[in-house]
Amino acid sequence: MMQKQRTIKNPVTVSGVGLHTGVKVNLTFKPAPENHWYKFKRIDLEGAPEIEVDADNVSDTSRGTTLQQHGAKISTTEHALAALVGLEIDNAIIEVDGPEVPILDGSSAPFIDALLQAGIVEQNADREVYVLDEVLSYEEPARNVEMLAVPSPDYRITVMVDYNSPVLGTQHAQLHKINEFQKDFSTCRTFCFLHELEALVKHDLIKGGDLNNAIVVVDKEISQDKLDDLARLFNKPSVQVKEKGILNNVQLHFQNEPARHKLLDIVGDFALVGMPIQCHILAARPGHAANVEFARKIKEVINVTG
């Protein structure tokens, strides 16, 4: 039975700072007509240019997925897009008054909460889903990334991450149906290693960073002086390392939260295909660059097969 397209009932706004820019931004989800998919709208720029959520509009994947079109740019799009896909919302306008989507707590959960508050409504048009009927693959040997898309009765995603870290080890996560996203994946936050955090701070690249919006993995010995420096930097009374090598800034929601967050990123980045897809994505050591390239490959297949 064909499902109907869906949008939201009312506009809803979330506010916060961009992780990398540190700029405060208001993001408003708005209803959109049938067959619209997702578009960002930079209402702070002259003419309020729109940016289509499309793999061909990706301009950067170094610290998140950045889209650029009509002279406008929007960064760190993946968590907001994952919320839309995870709730099976087909059409939305996403107005922003700054250059980056707010990081909030580093997950999709605040966006999910906002969209549920806005209400979800069915539209008249049938939902068009691309059903994959062949096996597609993508490899990035330099980063040891392997991705596969195979035919499946549902949209499924299986992820394996392995960072050669004694703290994280090898982790797996699997989504069997998209309706599992809200409960089992949306709350999973972004993560980084302490040495990455130090380098980003040193280069002034996480101006909106806060120890409340990321899981920080410590896989090497660290002195108390360095921990004290971190506490001062992020305006915390103290910072400690837990037994498992995680800073005491957050409690893990799941033992494999990092793998689940990588799955969340795939859900968001694969919105760049431009329509719902039905296949099983298997991903080993994925990242934004690989996600985008594989989404682009799937989009090309859709364009060829019609």
| Total domains present in the chain | 1
pLDDT at 19 (0 to 100): 79
Tokens of 165: 């870290």
**Residue 41 included in any domain:** yes
E strands present in 50-175: 50-52, 58-60, 66-69, 72-74, 92-96, 120-126, 130-131, 136-140, 145-150, 156-162, 170-175
Domain with 17 in it: 4-127
* Distance in angstroms (rounded) separating the CA atoms of residues 128 and 159: 26
Residue 101 in domain: yes
Specify the pLDDT at position 29: 98
Side chain identity, residue 127: R
Q: Which residues are catalytic?
A: 288
Greatest alpha-carbon span in the chain: 62
* Residue 286: predicted pLDDT: 96
| 207: phi then psi, degrees, rounded to nearest 5 | -65, -25
- Indicate the burial class of 238 (C-beta count within 10 angstroms; 0-12, 13-18, 19 or more): exposed
Residue 228 lies in a domain: no
Does a structural domain hold residue 144?
Answer: no
Question: How much is the pLDDT for 244?
Answer: 62
Q: So what's the pLDDT on residue 204? A: 59
pLDDT in tens, the chain (306 residues): 689 999 999 999 999 998 777 789 999 999 999 999 999 999 999 999 999 999 999 999 988 999 999 999 999 999 999 999 999 999 999 999 999 999 999 999 999 999 999 999 999 999 999 999 999 999 999 989 999 999 999 999 999 999 777 778 899 999 999 999 999 999 999 887 777 776 666 665 555 556 667 777 777 777 788 777 777 766 677 777 765 677 766 688 899 999 999 999 999 999 999 999 999 999 999 999 999 999 999 999 998 876
Domain assignment of residue 49, yes or no: yes
Read off the tokens for 12.
């809803």
Residue 69 lies in a domain: yes
219 inside domain: no
Q: Is residue 210 part of a domain?
A: no
| CATH number of the CATH domain containing 122 | 3.30.230.20
Rounded Cα distance between 187 and 189, Å, is: 6
What is the structure's pLDDT at 48? 98
Contact at 8 Å (CB) between 276 and 90?
yes
Distance, in Å, from the CA atom of 131 to the CA atom of 151, rounded to the nearest integer, reads 7
What's the pLDDT score for residue 306?
A: 60
CA 34 – CA 300 distance, rounded (Å): 23
pLDDT at 95: 98
User: Helix, strand or coil for residue 266?
Assistant: helix
pLDDT at 199: 67
